């Protein structure tokens, strides 16, 4: 991890966009820029000030030592927050004679207004100043994402021996989470989705008391986290022998997943990946029940740039980590989703998710 290079890249972007000073407070961006991985209340007791000359990490006394250690030998100076972070940052900017300031578009409106009141100059919002940089992963970042993906693959294998008729979705979710954490996951990047039978028709179903029945399709969407980096995968399995309709849906989604993956290469517009998968489903009369984009970037956040959808304006960069996850959702019947996490490289991609993709019957 080269914090100095990341800050250099951020400064180049700031110059390109005419931003003389920026406050970065989103937790993942803060972590990316400083390597500090302590617990911070987002935007309340941790924020970075970056100008052409200043790289200052403001935090309160509780974190000051850890922040200084994380920044050791690096470009950051630690500014100890006395009262209000933003009053102190604005005072520093006034001393520097800086008259224009950018804050991230994700800051709450109340904070934006407060900063605007404190700062004697123009305050504007910027979109994705750091997120754009985070798309291209360093080898060490890819390694952590791959480790997280391997923990999820291993847990999936374990779950195949655990899931049986009569247990609930909530029990499956608990076992899955327990397995991943026991195998080295730092925590859950998101609550696992276990959606059985008709619950599968809701893409983000919450695991509940429904008991698994013979004949169910079960959608399992989950990930692990290693060193701050997430993984994300989905498999759909069948309890017993699939019906012709279940088989038809599964085969269509698998073909869409493979078509999407085949379109993943550096330089490809993200809309093309979505289109490749969507074409397959549309040709089988399932275009209307594929109700979301085909994928997203994964890194320090579970959902980050680039977005892979019909309206995406991004292109795939080499060393980006993205998911390909077509799905179909049939109200009152079932859902099928198959999601792989891949890294864009060598004119194509490498799968970090390595669980089997044929329809598994348990
Ligand atoms: Mn996903």
CA of 8 from ligand 1 middle (Å) equals: 31
89: left (phi over 0), alpha (psi -120 to 50) or beta: alpha
Q: Using pLDDT thresholds of 50, 70 and 90, give the confidence band for residue 179.
A: very high
pLDDT at 115 over 90: yes
CA of 205 from ligand 1 middle (Å) equals: 13
CA of 149 from ligand 1 middle (Å) equals: 12
Domains of the chain, start order: 3-134 (3.40.350.10), 139-351 (3.90.230.10)
Q: Quick: pLDDT tens for 190-208.
A: 999 999 999 999 988 899 9
pLDDT at 72 over 80: no
3-state SS, one letter per residue, for 89-157: HHHHHHHHCCCEEEEECCCCHHHHHHHHHHCCCEEEEECCCCHHHHCCCCHHHHHHHHHHHHHHHHHHH
Among 33-37, 54-58, 227-231, 281-285, the range scoring the smallest mean pLDDT is 33-37
pLDDT at 62 over 90: no
Could you tell me the two tokens for 187?
């925590």
pLDDT at 67 over 90: no
CA of 145 from ligand 1 middle (Å) equals: 14
CA of 198 from ligand 1 middle (Å) equals: 20
pLDDT at 360 over 90: yes
Structural contact between residues 152 and 223, judged by C-beta atoms closer than 8 angstroms: yes
CA of 284 from ligand 1 middle (Å) equals: 23
CA of 152 from ligand 1 middle (Å) equals: 13
Q: Using pLDDT thresholds of 50, 70 and 90, give the confidence band for residue 64.
A: confident
CB-based contacts of 90, cutoff 8 Å, min separation 6? 101, 115, 118, 119, 120
CA of 337 from ligand 1 middle (Å) equals: 10
CA of 338 from ligand 1 middle (Å) equals: 10
pLDDT at 250 over 80: yes
Starting at the edge strand that comes first in sequence, how are the strands of the sheet with 193-196 ordered? Answer: 193-196, 217-222, 233-238
CA–chain centroid gap for 237, Å, is 24
Please tell me the predicted confidence (pLDDT) of residue 125.
95
% of the chain residues with pLDDT over 90 = 87
DSSP state of 27: H
Q: Which of 266, 228, 236 has its CA nearest to residue 362?
A: 236
**Bridge partners for 78 per DSSP:** 57
CB-based contacts of 258, cutoff 8 Å, min separation 6? none
Q: Using pLDDT thresholds of 50, 70 and 90, give the confidence band for residue 240.
A: very high
Q: Using pLDDT thresholds of 50, 70 and 90, give the confidence band for residue 43.
A: confident
Please tell me the predicted confidence (pLDDT) of residue 131.
96
CA dist 330 → 170, 198, 272 (Å): 22, 8, 25
pLDDT at 81 over 90: no
CA of 153 from ligand 1 middle (Å) equals: 15
Q: Quick: pLDDT tens for 21-37.
A: 999 999 999 999 988 88
Angle formed at CA 26 by CA 84 and CA 101, multiple of 5 degrees: 65
CA of 170 from ligand 1 middle (Å) equals: 20
pTM of the model: 0.95
CA of 5 from ligand 1 middle (Å) equals: 29
Please tell me the predicted confidence (pLDDT) of residue 187.
92
Q: What is the mean pLDDT of residues 98-119?
A: 95
CA of 294 from ligand 1 middle (Å) equals: 9
- Rounded Cα distance between 71 and 57, Å, is 9
What are the counts of helices (DSSP H) followed by strands (DSSP E) for the chain?
10, 18
Could you tell me the two tokens for 291?
């109700």
pLDDT at 68 over 90: no
Could you tell me the two tokens for 92?
């520093």
CA of 106 from ligand 1 middle (Å) equals: 21
% of the chain residues with pLDDT over 70 = 99
- Rounded Cα distance between 360 and 166, Å, is 18
């Amino acid at each position: 991890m080269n914090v100095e290079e990341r800050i250099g890249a951020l400064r180049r972007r700031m110059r390109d966009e005419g931003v003389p000073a920026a406050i970065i407070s989103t937790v993942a961006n803060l972590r990316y820029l400083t390597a500090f991985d302590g617990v911070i209340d987002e935007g309340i007791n941790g924020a970075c000030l970056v100008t052409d000359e200043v790289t200052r990490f403001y935090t309160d006394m509780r974190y000051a030592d850890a922040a200084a250690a994380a920044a050791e030998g690096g470009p950051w100076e630690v500014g100890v927050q006395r009262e209000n972070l933003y009053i102190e940052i604005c005072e520093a900017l006034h001393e520097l004679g800086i008259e224009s300031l950018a804050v991230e578009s994700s800051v709450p409106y109340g904070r934006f207004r407060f900063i605007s009141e404190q700062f004697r100059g123009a305050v504007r919002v910027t979109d994705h100043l750091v997120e754009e940089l985070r798309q291209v992963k360093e080898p060490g970042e890819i390694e952590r994402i791959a480790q997280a993906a391997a923990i999820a693959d291993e847990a999936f294998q374990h779950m195949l021996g655990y899931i049986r008729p009569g247990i609930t979705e909530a029990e499956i979710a608990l076992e899955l989470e327990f397995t991943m954490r026991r195998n080295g996951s730092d925590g859950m990047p998101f609550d696992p989705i276990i959606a059985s039978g008709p619950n599968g028709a809701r893409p983000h179903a919450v695991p509940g008391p429904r008991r698994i029945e013979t004949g169910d399709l079960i959608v399992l969407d989950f990930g692990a986290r290693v060193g701050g980096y997430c993984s994300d995968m989905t498999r759909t399995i069948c309890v017993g022998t699939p019906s012709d309709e279940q088989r038809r849906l599964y085969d269509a989604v698998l073909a869409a997943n493979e078509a999407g993956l085949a379109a993943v290469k550096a330089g490809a517009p993200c809309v093309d990946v979505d289109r490749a998968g969507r074409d397959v489903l549309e040709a089988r009369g399932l275009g209307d029940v594929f109700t979301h984009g085909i994928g997203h970037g994964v890194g320090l956040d579970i959902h980050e740039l680039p977005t892979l959808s019909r309206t995406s304006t991004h292109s795939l960069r080499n060393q980006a980590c993205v998911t390909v996850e077509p799905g179909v959702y049939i109200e009152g019947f079932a859902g099928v989703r198959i999601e792989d996490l891949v890294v864009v490289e060598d004119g194509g991609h490498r799968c970090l998710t390595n669980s089997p993709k044929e329809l598994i019957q348990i």
